[in-house]
């Protein structure tokens, strides 16, 4: 029996990359996985099929998590299907390219650039957390894991708009953890370093990767699989006395 057998797990933005890897890791542990996605139907169906093949159960829900109505409809569908939500992983974010040569510098960024990232990261996380809170309060149990970045502690390359939005999620998560703790709901974050390969890191040049590798104690770039473990840990009873924390999954680049 898997660690998450009988548990319902929602992962936003999980049709590819880190989200897909997290979904499959939960599937392997026997979870009922909800693969949320925005555009790619076939990719989402493929992830759900793999979750099932690995020993879990899964289905897909197409929903724009920056829309409050879409999030509420998604929650209703999950509750109709399973009657509960044990774990939420807020992984969806607005597409971003980690290319130092093409990034906007601080004096080139407009407020709209920041707002765009805040909407893609914080707004979607807020809507999902807001919608799942009554469910988890009723259960007197639940784990929320929000995906952030090690750039909030160590701006290896200053991606200001992206890192600012992710920093806001950390503050939001800590305050939410304090608010929801008395109801048995835990809220934590996972902060990966550069993860390759993903759509966001395809344009990261080799010299940048080499620079990060030489500064990383474990001397390599992270893979999506390296992020799944910390997420499953924070979602499980192994971390049942942890809330308001941020785990850095970056090979030791950030040590806290």
Q: Is 159 a catalytic residue?
A: no
* Catalytic pick among 114, 159, 162, 202: 162
Rounded-to-integer distance, Cα 63 and Cα 38, Å? 6
CB neighbour burial string for 222-245, b if at least 16 within 10 angstroms, e if fewer: bebebbbebbbbbbeeebeeebbb
CA dist 68 → 72, 86, 101, 110, 146 (Å): 6, 20, 35, 25, 18
Contacts of 123 (CB under 8 A, 6+ apart): 66
Strand partners of residue 32:
8, 57
Burial class (CB in 10 A: 0-12, 13-18, 19+), 180: buried
Specify the DSSP class assigned to residue 40.
Answer: -
Contacts of 180 (CB under 8 A, 6+ apart): 133, 136, 137, 186, 187
Residue with tokens 């919608």: 131
Rounded-to-integer distance, Cα 89 and Cα 12, Å? 6
Residues labelled as active-site residues: 162
């Amino acid at each position: 029996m898997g660690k998450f057998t009988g548990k319902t797990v929602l992962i936003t933005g999980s049709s590819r990359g880190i989200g897909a890897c997290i979904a499959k890791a939960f599937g392997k542990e026997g979870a009922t996985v909800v693969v949320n996605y925005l555009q790619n139907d076939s990719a989402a169906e493929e992830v759900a099929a793999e979750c099932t093949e690995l020993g879990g159960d899964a289905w897909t829900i197409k929903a724009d998590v920056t829309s409050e109505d879409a999030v509420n409809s998604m929650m209703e569908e999950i509750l109709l299907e399973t009657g509960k939500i044990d774990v939420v992983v807020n992984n969806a974010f607005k597409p971003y390219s980690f290319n130092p040569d093409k990034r906007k510098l601080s004096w080139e960024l407009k407020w709209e650039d920041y707002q765009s990232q805040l909407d893609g990261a914080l707004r979607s996380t807020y809507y999902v957390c807001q919608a799942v809170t009554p469910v988890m309060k009723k259960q007197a149990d639940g784990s929320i894991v929000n995906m952030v970045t090690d750039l909030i502690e160590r701006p290896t390359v200053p991606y200001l708009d992206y890192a600012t939005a992710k920093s806001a999620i950390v503050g939001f998560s800590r305050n939410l953890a304090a608010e929801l703790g008395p109801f048995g709901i835990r809220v934590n974050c996972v902060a990966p370093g550069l993860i390759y390969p993903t759509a966001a890191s395809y344009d990261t040049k080799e010299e940048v990767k080499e620079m990060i590798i030489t500064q990383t104690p474990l001397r390599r770039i992270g893979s999506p699989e390296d992020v799944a473990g910390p997420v499953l840990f924070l979602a499980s009873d192994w971390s049942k006395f942890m809330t308001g924390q941020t785990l850095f999954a970056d090979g030791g680049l950030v040590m806290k």
